[in-house]
Amino acid sequence: MPRSLAKLYVHAIFSTKNREPILFNAWRDDLFRVMGGTANNLGCQSLIVGGMPDHVHLLFQLGRTITIADAIGKIKSMSSLWINRTHKFVDPFQRQSDYAVFSVSQSNIEAVRAYSELSQAS
């Protein structure tokens, strides 16, 4: 095979430290753009980024040259850095170290999109 091909869709969910509701509406969309842009810069095509004040959903196509753990770690660290630089909290912003990831078939991407949008409306 002359070229490698990988189409792995990953739905990742991660929370703020202690699930504190501190991802405020006023800047949450900007945060989602930072997270999606970071994923894209890693070679992971960002498809959906959304969430609530205490957690985030991210659906992306995993790049061929990066592990899930490395992608999640870099997205979490870059977005936390952005939050700490642009929004001053008394204590530095932190996320829980754990996360959940699920593989998603291409045929279920719209279902994940609908779920993510529904969770934002709640």
Cβ proximity of 95 and 15 under 8 Å: yes
- Average pLDDT value for the chain: 90
CA distance 24 to 87: 10
pLDDT band at 121 (very low <50, low <70, confident <90, very high): low
pLDDT for residue 74 is more than 70: yes
What class does CATH assign to 8-121?
alpha beta
Look at residue 3 in the predicted model and tell me its pLDDT: 78
The mean per-residue pLDDT over the stretch 90-104 comes to: 89
Query: What tens digit of pLDDT does each residue of 2-25 get?
Result: 677 788 999 999 999 999 999 999
Looking at residue 83, its pLDDT comes to 93
pLDDT of residue 82: 94
- Find all residues with CB under 8 Å of 22, minimum gap 6, and list them: 16, 53, 54, 89, 93
Contact 96, 43 (CB under 8 A): no
Average pLDDT over residues 44-56: 94
- In the chain, where the domains are located: 8-121
Are 75 and 38 a contacting pair, CB within 8 Å?
yes
